[in-house]
């Protein structure tokens, strides 16, 4: 006897789905055979018996002798000495600090900008062009990176002031993207943001590499990347995560704009001090020569 009501209808629908989902018995053989063949050939490894003799050949500079393990304390000591030697250079330290701080902020903006755009213009109400904006910003950023090779400037003198100015422009772009409730203005601000960052990160990477030997590239860029990711994790926990402040997306971007503005202020102060020191060094020989002639 059938049970009337919605329960019987759900049971009937489930039975129909089960009947339509059944696969004929003869259809299981071919997929099973293919999987077995794949597992057999993946585990076959016909070159395995010949690999070791090949690597131990006279032209490979390898041997079966087990080399003594290096002293871990000695390795850490050498690594630490290299770390101190690299970051004792003021230009390298300056560019590395900006590299780590700006990369942290860049990752935050790029990771959460889709959420901001969704709030400004919900995708269910209008056509969106988020993917096209990402592509255009990448293309224009590449053009800017290509053009930077033709810029003639003394980065040792004006580098920090340049970082300060463009960090301020990044802060302005993020602030406009956050406060103006127009999706096209958001798109334009995002393109400007990415162009400036890609331009500066290329210059920073070149300046860091110019102050290093090739053997220390991995150390410095690895440390810079680790610091950037650690700062990003901390910023995410404080600003985004529910266990922290859990702020709304607009408030988050307001904080990111302030973050880049703070970077601009720091490098403005550092650049001003650096320029003043260089001006004093230029004045000292003149004053000393005057004292000598008198």
257 against 9, higher pLDDT = 257
**Residue 75: pLDDT above 70?**
yes
Q: Could you give the dihedral angle defined by the CA atoms of residues 220, 226, 230 and 235, in that order, rounded to the nearest 10 degrees?
A: 70
Mean pLDDT of 253-273: 94
Mean residue pLDDT of the chain comes to: 82
Task: Report yes or no: 166 and 200 within 8 Å, Cβ to Cβ.
Answer: yes
Q: Per residue in 95-121, is it b (16+ CB within 10 Å) or e — as a string?
A: bbbbbbbbbbbbbbbeebbeebbeebb
236 against 79, higher pLDDT = 236
Mean pLDDT of 3-20: 48
Confidence of residue 255 (pLDDT cuts 50, 70, 90): very high
Mean pLDDT of 16-25: 47
286 against 249, higher pLDDT = 249
Residue holding tokens 């990448």?
Answer: 138
**Residue 163: pLDDT above 90?**
yes
Confidence of residue 153 (pLDDT cuts 50, 70, 90): confident
pLDDT for the residue 25: 52
% of the chain with per-residue pLDDT over 70: 76
- pLDDT one-digit tens code per residue, 123-147: 888 778 898 999 999 999 999 988 8
**Residue 1: pLDDT above 50?**
no
User: Measuring CA to CA, how many Å separate 59 from each of 47, 48, 55, 64, 67?
Assistant: 19, 19, 9, 14, 19
Mean pLDDT of 19-44: 65
Q: Report if pTM > 0.85.
A: no
Of the candidates 169, 176, 183, 172, the residue with the CA atom closest to the CA atom of residue 114: 183
* Opening angle at CA 133, ends 132 and 134, nearest 5: 90
Of the candidates 120, 127, 122, the residue with the CA atom closest to the CA atom of residue 179: 120
- pLDDT one-digit tens code per residue, 191-230: 999 999 999 999 999 999 888 888 888 899 999 999 999 9
CB atoms within 10 A of CB 220: 21
105 against 52, higher pLDDT = 105
195, two tokens: 């162009």
Mean pLDDT of 14-24: 47
First to last CA, the chain: 123
CATH of 90-282, one of 3.40.50.300, 1.20.1250.20, 2.30.30.140, 2.130.10.10: 1.20.1250.20
Q: With DSSP H G I counted as helix, E B as strand and the rest as coil, what are the percentages for the chain, rounded to 5?
A: 80, 0, 20
Of the candidates 172, 137, 271, 159, the residue with the CA atom closest to the CA atom of residue 211: 159
* Opening angle at CA 264, ends 259 and 269, nearest 5: 130
């Amino acid at each position: 006897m059938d049970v009337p009501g919605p329960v019987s209808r759900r049971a009937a629908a489930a039975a129909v789905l089960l009947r339509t989902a059944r696969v004929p018995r003869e259809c299981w053989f071919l997929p099973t055979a293919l999987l077995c063949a794949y597992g057999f050939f993946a585990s076959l490894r016909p070159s395995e018996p010949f690999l070791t003799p090949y690597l131990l050949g006279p032209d490979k500079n390898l041997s079966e002798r087990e080399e003594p393990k290096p002293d871990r304390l000695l390795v850490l000591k050498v690594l630490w000495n290299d770390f101190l030697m690299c970051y004792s250079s003021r230009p390298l330290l300056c560019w590395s600090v900006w590299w780590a701080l700006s990369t942290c902020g860049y990752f935050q903006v790029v990771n959460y900008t889709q959420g901001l755009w969704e709030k400004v213009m919900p995708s269910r109400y209008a056509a969106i062009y988020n993917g096209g904006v990402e592509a255009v910003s990448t293309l224009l950023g590449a053009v800017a990176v290509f053009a930077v090779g033709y810029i003639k400037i003394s980065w040792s003198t004006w580098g920090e002031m340049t970082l300060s100015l463009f960090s301020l422009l990044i802060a302005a772009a993020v602030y406009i993207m956050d406060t103006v409730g127009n999706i096209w203005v958001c798109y334009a601000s995002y393109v400007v943001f990415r162009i400036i960052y890609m331009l500066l990160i290329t210059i920073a990477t070149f300046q860091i590499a110019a102050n290093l030997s090739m053997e220390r590239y991995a150390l410095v860029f690895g440390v810079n990347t680790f610091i950037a990711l650690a700062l990003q994790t901390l910023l995410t926990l404080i600003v985004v995560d529910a266990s922290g402040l859990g702020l709304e997306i607009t408030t988050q971007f307001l904080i990111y704009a302030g973050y880049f503005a703070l970077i601009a202020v720091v490098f403005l102060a550092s650049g001003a001090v650096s320029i003043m020191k260089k001006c004093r060094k230029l004045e000292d020989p003149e004053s000393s020569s005057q004292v000598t002639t008198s």
